[in-house]
């Protein structure tokens, strides 16, 4: 979202994001815009230093704007926090934790609606994250890996993680660094030749429609999976 098109733009000084988030949490507590059961005494004590005047001085954001932002979020029926790739690239996860704490204060982590949205790069990134694949590799839990749709978009971090996998199968539509590392490479249609489902950033399962017909003789991804499952002695439906 282009900031100038928003109703309220909190343009904080570089490096002051954590102070801003904690300052908003302090205002929410002071104004009674939180769920009492979500506010432990130790949190109140930790946030006591974030006085609005000091937060304003540190972040460069006016006190009135800070209070207005807290009121808008605290009074919203369905408050949502969206954060981008900039936070995901940081080695320190404290800002993400602070965001979750802020959402938890107002009860915005409760219910079936998504209240905190991470704008991960790439299509269906949320679906991949919910499978827990990256976390499994990081914890050295995987011995073998079947990497599907592994085209040029496979990032360097993931490539470094899969180097430790004993057996790697890559199914892709073109040659990439991932196929160079694979023990077995299988063909795959390009993105415009596929159909199926994907998970949007807000958690909805949406339909992916085919744009182009694949060349004759090129199996769909699910057809290959069905054939592999047969070899393993399992029945897998292509649908």
Co-location of 173 and 107 in the same domain = no
Whichever domain contains 31, its CATH number is 3.40.228.10
Co-location of 54 and 92 in the same domain = yes
The pLDDT of 51-57, averaged and rounded, is: 97
Q: What is the pLDDT of residues 119-170, one digit of tens each?
A: 776 666 666 666 665 565 655 567 888 888 666 666 777 788 778 788 999 9
| Banded model confidence at residue 218, pLDDT cuts 50, 70, 90 | confident
Please report whether residue 236 resides in a domain.
no
Co-location of 33 and 89 in the same domain = yes
- Give me the chain's average pLDDT, please: 82
The pLDDT of 211-233, averaged and rounded, is: 87
Please report whether residue 238 resides in a domain.
no
Co-location of 8 and 111 in the same domain = yes
Asked if residue 111 has pLDDT above 60, the reply is no
Domain of 163, in residue numbers:
125-231
pTM here? 0.64
Co-location of 10 and 88 in the same domain = yes
CA-CA distance, 13 to 113, in Å (whole number)? Answer: 32
Co-location of 196 and 142 in the same domain = yes
Q: What percent of the chain has pLDDT over 70?
A: 82
Please report whether residue 170 resides in a domain.
yes
Most confident of 40-44, 47-51, 95-99, 234-238: 47-51
Q: What is the pLDDT of residues 184-212, one digit of tens each?
A: 999 988 888 888 887 777 777 888 888 99
> Terminal CA-to-CA distance of the chain, rounded, Å?
37
Q: Which long-range contacts (CB under 8 A, 24 or more apart) does 213-222 make?
A: 214/189, 218/187, 218/189, 218/193, 219/187, 220/189, 220/194, 221/148, 221/149, 221/171, 221/188, 221/189, 221/194, 221/196, 222/196
The pLDDT of 106-123, averaged and rounded, is: 69
Co-location of 96 and 184 in the same domain = no
Could you give the 3-state DSSP secondary structure of residue 208? Answer: strand
Q: In the chain, how many domains are there?
A: 2
């Amino acid at each position: 979202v282009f900031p100038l098109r928003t109703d309220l733009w909190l343009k904080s000084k570089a490096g002051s994001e954590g102070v801003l988030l904690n300052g908003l949490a302090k205002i929410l507590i002071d104004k009674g815009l939180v769920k009492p059961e979500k506010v432990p005494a130790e949190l109140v004590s930790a946030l006591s230093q974030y006085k609005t005047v000091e937060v304003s001085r540190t972040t460069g954001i006016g006190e009135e704007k800070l209070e207005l932002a807290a009121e808008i979020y605290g009074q919203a029926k369905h408050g949502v926090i969206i954060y981008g790739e900039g936070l995901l690239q940081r080695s320190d996860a404290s800002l993400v934790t602070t965001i979750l704490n802020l959402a938890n204060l107002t009860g915005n982590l409760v219910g079936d609606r998504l209240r905190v949205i991470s704008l991960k790069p790439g299509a269906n990134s949320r679906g991949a994250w919910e499978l827990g694949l990256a976390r499994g590799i990081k914890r050295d839990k995987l011995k073998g890996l079947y990497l599907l749709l592994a085209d040029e978009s496979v990032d360097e971090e993931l490539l470094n993680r899969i180097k430790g996998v004993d057996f790697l199968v890559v199914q892709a539509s073109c040659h990439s660094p991932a196929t160079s590392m694979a023990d077995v490479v299988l063909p795959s249609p390009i993105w415009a030749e596929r159909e199926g489902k994907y998970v949007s950033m807000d958690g909805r399962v949406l339909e992916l429609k085919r744009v182009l017909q694949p060349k004759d003789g090129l199996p769909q991804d699910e057809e290959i999976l069905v054939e592999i499952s047969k070899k393993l002695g399992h029945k897998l439906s292509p649908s």
